[in-house]
Amino acid sequence: MPPRPYTIRVPQDVIDDLRSRLARTRWPTAIPGSGWDYGADVLAIKELCDYWLDGYDWKRHERTLNRFPQFISRVDGVDIHYWHVKGETAGSFPLLLMHGWPGSILEFFAMIEPLTNPSKYGGKPEDSFDVVIPALPGFGFSGKPSQRGWGVTRIAAAFDSLMADELGYNWYGVQGGDWGGIIASKMASAHSEHVAGAHLNFMLGNPPDELTEQDREWLATRNAFQAQETGYSAVQGTKPMSVTVAQSDSPAGLAAWVVEKFRAWSDCGGDVESAFSRDVLLTNLMFYWVPNSIASAARIYHESQRDPGAFRYPKVETPTAFAVFPAEPWRTPRSWVEPRYNIQRWTEMPKGGHFAALEQPELLLKDVREFFRTIRP
């Protein structure tokens, strides 16, 4: 079945229901002055939800999102929703951009035109890409898998099928952060006959057997982060439905769970709205609220923990670039990563965090463009 054109259209009754739930939120009582110390800052989330109720205009954002051509392709029994935007020149290099949790395809929106139409933004026409930006299975407006087993390995195979079988791109690049980076790594390893190059802003690596003093410092920092900041992963990796019932019912609960991560993982100095506008935060939330996808998205943790090939695979021989953003919580030393990848480019960025495409699109764009100049036929 060929790709089916798609347009985001949210019925008014869904918006009315959202507003009704926001207006009737029963807020918990926080310890005075505790702020974000116990997780979400109740006062900050309430202010955001008040704006969601009275100031946020979804229809305006819906029109903006629909500026670029969207499609649905059924791959391995699941509908995949994606932007597919052709480059300004014939034979533009195909590039698959992949998001993670708790993000969405919105992360890459600001990069679409500079990637596909570089001459309009001071670039060269020969740098143009054919861009494909899919929502992960279970995320956003993609379909919700009804079977077990949709971990990294199966998603990587589905996305390779989307690019090669559905869209006819037998030679393409991949880029991603968070789960998108993990899936990109898996694709570069398992589907190297199609993946020409991988650009990542998220990577996983293990410390060497013999630790230097710097290695010990890195390990201590990572262990402290794991102990204090990864409870969400333990829950979603073991009992995701126990918490997503609440998030599916309460937009305020959804906002608390997601926005706390945007604050903790970004280069915002503790002020989340210094890195992301309220409209950006809420539009990203709408990709979870409107299609009721928070539960199906969270299951990627559960499924991938039970996927023996998710994080274990031979060294990635595909040419690989890493963009290292200073506020990335999972930042990993190059010496830990080199045994796993064929590193051709390593860029230490001056600013930015986990949500690189949203926080620093120009820096990420420049690095992607320069790396794939070395990969293009």
**Does the annotation mark 302 as catalytic?**
no
User: Which domains are seen in the chain, by residue range?
Assistant: 4-373 (3.40.50.1820)
Residues 52-64: pLDDT tens digits? 999 999 999 999 9
Mean pLDDT of the chain: 96
The predicted model gives 269-291 an average pLDDT of: 98
As a whole number of angstroms, the distance between CA 322 and CA 51 comes to 37
Q: Please check the confidence at residue 205 and state whether its pLDDT lies above 90.
A: no
Long-range contacts, 228-233 (Cβ 8 Å, 24+): 229/264, 229/329, 232/257, 232/261, 233/301
| Residue 306 burial (CB count, 10 A) | 11
Residues 43-96: pLDDT tens digits? 999 999 999 999 999 999 999 999 999 999 999 999 999 999 999 999 999 999
Q: How many CA atoms lie within 13 A of 223 on its CB side?
A: 7
Q: Which H/E stretch holds residue 229?
A: helix 213-229
Q: What is the DSSP string of 273-315?
A: GGTS-HHHHHHHHHHHHTTT-HHHHHHHHHHHHT-TTSS--S-
The tokens for 321 are 């670039």
Q: Please check the confidence at residue 1 and state whether its pLDDT lies above 90.
A: no
Q: Please check the confidence at residue 172 and state whether its pLDDT lies above 90.
A: yes
Residues 320-343: pLDDT tens digits? 999 999 999 999 999 999 999 999
The tokens for 237 are 């990796």
As a whole number of angstroms, the distance between CA 119 and CA 175 comes to 22
As a whole number of angstroms, the distance between CA 196 and CA 200 comes to 13
Q: Please check the confidence at residue 239 and state whether its pLDDT lies above 80.
A: yes
What confidence score (pLDDT) does residue 206 get? Answer: 87
Torsion of CA 233, 239, 241, 244, to 10 degrees: -30
What confidence score (pLDDT) does residue 40 get? Answer: 97
As a whole number of angstroms, the distance between CA 177 and CA 364 comes to 11
Choosing from 178, 267, 307, 367, the catalytic residue is 178
The predicted model gives 125-129 an average pLDDT of: 96
Choosing from 61, 99, 191, 354, the catalytic residue is 354
Q: What is the DSSP string of 2-66?
A: PPEEE-----HHHHHHHHHHHHT--PPPPPTT-TTTTSS-HHHHHHHHHHHHHT--HHHHHHHHT
**Does the annotation mark 354 as catalytic?**
yes
Residues 6+ apart with CB under 8 A from 273: 281
The predicted model gives 85-108 an average pLDDT of: 97
As a whole number of angstroms, the distance between CA 352 and CA 264 comes to 12
Strand partners, 134: 82
Choosing from 84, 301, 302, 341, the catalytic residue is 301
**Does the annotation mark 178 as catalytic?**
yes
Q: What b/e readout covers 140-168, taking b as 16+ CB neighbours within 10 angstroms?
A: bbbbbbeeeebbbbbbbbbbbbbbbebbe
